[in-house]
Amino acid sequence: MKRLTTADATNMLQAKKNSTSLRETIKTTHTTRKIQYRNHGVSQQSICKSTPSTSAHQQHHGDDGSDLNGLSADHTPLRSKEKMHINVVVIGHVDSGKSTTTGHLIYKCGGIDKRTIEKFEKEAAELGKGSFKYAWVLDKLKAERERGITIDIALWKFETPKYYVTVIDAPGHRDFIKNMITGTSQADCAVLIIAAGTGEFEAGISKDGQTREHALLAYTLGVKQLIVAINKMDTTKWSEARFQEIIKETSNFIKKVGYNPKTVAFVPISGFNGDNMIDNSPNCPWYKGWEKETKAGKSSGKTLLEAIDAIDPPSRPTDKPLRLPLQDVYKIGGIGTVPVGRVETGVIKAGMVVTFAPAGVTTEVKSVEMHHEQLVEGLPGDNVGFNVKNVSVKEIRRGNVAGDSKNDPPKGAESFNAQVIVLNHPGQVGAGYAPVLDCHTAHIACKFSEILEKIDRRTGKSIENAPKFIKSGDAAIVKMVPSKPMCVEAFTDYPPLGRFAVRDMRQTVAVGVIKSVVK
């Protein structure tokens, strides 16, 4: 087996997940870390172009990565003070201009380095795409990702005055719905892009439009903040009447899904020309700006960037007991077993005794590290590798969940009740149906053992008791039994472990939120 350093392990994880950790610095992600091995026994150094916050701590690792074995005297573990990281998901109908708008923000405020931009511009010119559409940037990145090339996470980022923003899964990606659910990161806010063109708006919001499904999905999965960007306003000659008409219609639409329009910023934009994206547009003198009112208070502004900057800071669940779903488990020469994953709730630190469920293995954490850095503690959002005592790689696996053995340790679930919404199943679903569930990093077949009641998907009120079948568009409370042990939690207690995608026929046929668990 290849000997890896923990740093390699965390990097592999980092590359695999197209997500971000809460406190990763936007600049460090630009350069791959080159590791130079000098003659055996001399220090192995990680060389990276780093931000000022980390450059003082360029680290020297022992040849076996032995910095994991305890903190060296000259190195205090650090956690840089910087902007908060938030995650945004972009939703909307297929031709609403999601890619152009996202591409524009990333291009102007974001993580694409100058070299890549120049390369793209040159290629665009050669291909006669002289106007250099922003969507093309995204198409390039997407194409590379579809081919399995890991795209530097920084490319999907942009910055506002207050936040580092990561676009979780660029829209249009094949597994968009699955990623949104098992998503390594809960979105803090959804940006709904609506095309203002005649007929386009109506198509996007019609009964079968994707817009409805995506908005409902976001709301069901607990994405409670929303921004509406009304795009392609140039095609309506910046008509104020059209803007107001769309606000009225969209407000009714999002109300049905569950959002309160008073808490939503409505911004008229042109993602292609850049109006009201980053700077105020001279094309709509009638536009006085957006305003919204949330629990955090009133705010107002003019541009889409300002609306994103005005997202209420999400609370990160540090006060909850630890839940850390394992992404991978590595065996590292000279160190031992290193599980790797993202802290979802709580805190992990050296000296803690953790329990892995459903494996039922308990052990002590020797050390925790992220991006080659020893951490005093891993917090929610951090992708960490941690070294554990006396546990073999065979005992724990991807999909297991680590928790604090002294504070509500995780356990395997015998069965659980969930609210399930059927999205697209060709037939009807009855008791005995056994599809695969994707929940956090676990991927396990579960049986619908009984359909308890059919409910109104907006209000949650019961419509029918013990129905024989449910079909596309229905919502129901279902009792589910996993085919082999798995660790899940009620959504209200631990959101990331309480939402799942139901996969069948190579697509997401339903989504669910767990109400209660029998352990």
Query: Average pLDDT in the 431-442 region?
Result: 91
Lowest mean pLDDT among 7-16, 19-28, 76-85: 19-28
Checking if the pLDDT of 298 tops 80, the result is yes
Checking if the pLDDT of 413 tops 90, the result is yes
The CATH number linked to 494 is 2.40.30.10
In a domain, 191, yes or no: yes
Q: Are 508 and 497 in contact (CB under 8 A)?
A: no
In this prediction, residue 304 carries a pLDDT of 96
Q: Which domain holds residue 440?
A: 415-518
Q: How far apart are CA 141 and CA 188, in angstroms?
A: 23
DSSP string over 400-464: -EEEETTSS----BSEEEEEEEE---SSEEETT---EEEETTEEEEEEEEEEEEEE-TTT--EEE
Q: How far apart are CA 495 and CA 200, in angstroms?
A: 35
Stronger pLDDT, 249 or 119, i.e. the higher one? 249
Is the same domain home to 115 and 163?
A: yes
For 66-105, the pLDDT digits (tens) are: 334 333 333 444 444 578 888 888 888 777 877 778 878 8
Token pair 């107002």: residue: 300
In this prediction, residue 189 carries a pLDDT of 93
Is the same domain home to 126 and 233?
A: yes
Instruction: Quote the number of domains for the chain.
Output: 3
Lowest mean pLDDT among 140-149, 157-166, 269-278, 424-433: 140-149
In a domain, 371, yes or no: yes
Q: Which amino acid is at 453?
A: E
Q: Which long-range contacts (CB under 8 A, 24 or more apart) does 362-369 make?
A: 362/405, 363/388, 363/389, 363/390, 363/391, 364/388, 364/389, 366/68, 366/69, 366/70, 367/68, 367/69, 367/70, 367/71, 369/6, 369/7, 369/10, 369/67, 369/68
Q: How far apart are CA 297 and CA 263, in angstroms?
A: 10
Checking if the pLDDT of 195 tops 70, the result is yes
Query: Average pLDDT in the 30-50 region?
Result: 27
DSSP letter (8 states) at residue 52:
H
In a domain, 91, yes or no: yes
pLDDT band at 444 (very low <50, low <70, confident <90, very high): very high
Q: Is 147 exposed, middle or buried (0-12, 13-18, 19+ CB in 10 A)?
A: exposed
In this prediction, residue 108 carries a pLDDT of 79
- Residue 34 has φ and ψ, to the nearest 5°, of -95, 135
In this prediction, residue 175 carries a pLDDT of 61
Question: Which of residues 309, 329, 345 is at a domain's end?
Answer: 309
Stronger pLDDT, 415 or 271, i.e. the higher one? 415
- The mean predicted confidence, pLDDT, of the chain is 78
Q: CA distances (Å), 20 to each of 15, 104, 157, 435, in order?
A: 10, 20, 9, 30
Total residues found in the chain within this entry: 519
In a domain, 410, yes or no: no
In this prediction, residue 128 carries a pLDDT of 65
The CATH number linked to 115 is 3.40.50.300
